Amino acid sequence: MVTSPSTAASQAGANVLRDGGTAIEAVVATAAMLAVTCPHFCGIGGDAVWMVSDKSGKVQSFLGIGQAGEKTPETITPGTPIPLRGPASTLTTACTVDSWQHALDHSASHWGGKRSLSNLITPSIELAENGFPISASQCFWLNFRKDEFEKWPGFAAIFAPDGRMPTPGETFKQPDLARSLKQIATKGARDFYDGDLAKRIIAGLANAGSAITANDLAQTRTRTVDAVSLAYGDVTLYAPPAPTQGLATLMTMGILHELGPKNWAEGTADHYHLVVEAIKRAFLARDRIADPDFNLDDLSNMLTDEVLTSAADDISTAHAMDWPHPFRHGDTVFLAATDAQGNCTSVLQSTYFDWGSGVVAGDTGIIWQNRGAAFSTQPGHPNELKPGKRPFYTLNPGLALKHGKPHLLYGTQGADGQPQTLAMLLTRLLDFGLSPAEALAKPRFLLGKTFSDANDSLKLEADAGDDVFDDLTQRGHILREIEAQSALAGQAGIIRIDEDGFVDGAHDPRSDGMAIGA
């Protein structure tokens, strides 16, 4: 099975699985298609974080995260905010393409994979060249930024030519991106980093005013690292390590385990209140997370019994903790696959904000990410911007083993919303026995400021019910009702593998995608 937020992308991955391909090969085909069909959320000018497990339960993480450039723009000084868009926000390199080849090398060495990168990205090249029906999601986000994108170098000429806004369903072509993908297919992934394509990328970025250099791009590499884990009943949850917020997701689940989710009912005010309060405690600890190459802080104690018990004891069942803390923005795509051999892959691919930095790298058709905007300019901060450093990362795709074998693949779009959505999904799956489709369709929340609401409110989908809203208000939550199936609540996906081998999965009804069994 494969799941993604684009039906065309899921179909590309399913075709690979039907032809005997591995889960990694299916995900690469899906990821390449998403780079074409979801340019507002991801692309080859961004990063990717991977979780993989073979059928025996050996879990690893691939961190395809670009690093800060060796030169910091003169406009960025200590204590001043980093621009969220434009050339000054293009502070890090992009590692998605390298992560595709890195994962395929693992597939070939350990899973018997035989597919080449060229073969797997060919369908996405054809789609970029010949066009596809533009999604409602892409049109929504283009319209949402219509007052901004005229200032983004090279953007409007591709996505709103002649000032005309596209409508859902009309054919959208990306010939420049198709040529870049063809270059990768012909010359290999590293051409993006130190070949002819790299030269065109750097020239385009430099012309726009970016400080990224050829040497920065050439040094970009995916890393294989050990995942972090947490026991949750008879299941072990795995997440990518620092600099991602995987530890915050696991800490949330550890606090909830201490609180005993089975002592309260699914979808009640208790359910929402305690998950929200667990999130708050995990987020207070999250500011410690940074690139371990630069940060000497031992983060392992975030998951100790003592810390989790203390955080759980700090939670009042009757009163909400005040929450005036900053919110991190971000959009991305979640995709996952499991193959006929039982190998599994769970991935998040992103350019950070919707449309990334907004900067198109010259004639390449590549939108560059603004992930560097996640850095701090505060001297001494764990996530302080420094040359060669990787920023704090919201991406944290999940993978769970049950009795030592792959059981769940899960993840979501949404930056700060990721641990929040995952906690609601996992409690519904693991504690209350809901199916993937049922868990994804249920109401969710989002805590704190967002791009559409500057208040530190708790946004809750309307179908949670009046009784839940009234009860949470009495406990001190500052609530704002949002529509059911709101785009604010993220776009998640789940694949579940039962012990008898039965595979079940779904993608979020809030998305344009689906899970497809092969």
Among candidate residues 96, 220, 332, 450, the one labeled active-site is: 332
Q: Check if 224 is active-site.
A: no
Quote the CA–CA distance of 240 and 423 in Å, as a whole number.
Answer: 16
CA–CA distance from 369 to each of 179, 205, 449 (Å)?
20, 11, 22
pLDDT digits (tens, 9 = 90+) for 28-54: 999 999 999 999 999 999 999 999 999
101: left (phi over 0), alpha (psi -120 to 50) or beta: alpha
How many CB atoms sit inside 10 A of residue 154's CB? Answer: 22
DSSP assigned state of 227: P
DSSP assigned state of 423: H
Q: pTM surpassing 0.85?
A: yes
Quote the CA–CA distance of 409 and 59 in Å, as a whole number.
Answer: 12
pLDDT cut 70: percent of the chain above it: 97
Strand partners of residue 232: 235
With cut-offs at 50, 70 and 90, classify the pLDDT of residue 296: confident
With cut-offs at 50, 70 and 90, classify the pLDDT of residue 486: confident
How many CB atoms sit inside 10 A of residue 169's CB? Answer: 11
Quote the CA–CA distance of 3 and 237 in Å, as a whole number.
Answer: 19
Cis peptide before 243 (omega within 30 of 0): yes
Is the sign of the CA dihedral 187, 123, 154, 218 positive or negative? Answer: negative
Q: What is the mean pLDDT of residues 78-94?
A: 94
With cut-offs at 50, 70 and 90, classify the pLDDT of residue 451: low
Q: What is the mean pLDDT of residues 290-300?
A: 91
Supply 273's token pair.
Answer: 């209140």
What pLDDT does residue 455 have?
64
Rg for the chain, CA atoms, rounded: 21
What pLDDT does residue 276 have?
96
Task: Collapse the DSSP code of 34 into the 3-class scheme (helix H, G, I; strand E, B; otherwise coil) and give the result.
Answer: helix
- Exposure string of 398-411, with b = 16+ CB inside 10 Å and e = fewer, is bbbbbeeebbbbbb
Quote the CA–CA distance of 306 and 159 in Å, as a whole number.
Answer: 52
Q: Taking 70 as the threshold, does the pLDDT of residue 369 lie above it?
A: yes
What pLDDT does residue 407 have?
98
Mean pLDDT taken over the chain:
94
With cut-offs at 50, 70 and 90, classify the pLDDT of residue 75: confident
What pLDDT does residue 262 have?
77
Q: What is the mean pLDDT of residues 146-164?
A: 93
Question: DSSP H helical segments within 93-232, as ranges?
Answer: 96-110, 117-130, 136-144, 156-159, 175-187, 191-194, 196-208, 214-218
pLDDT digits (tens, 9 = 90+) for 398-426: 999 999 999 999 999 877 889 999 999 99
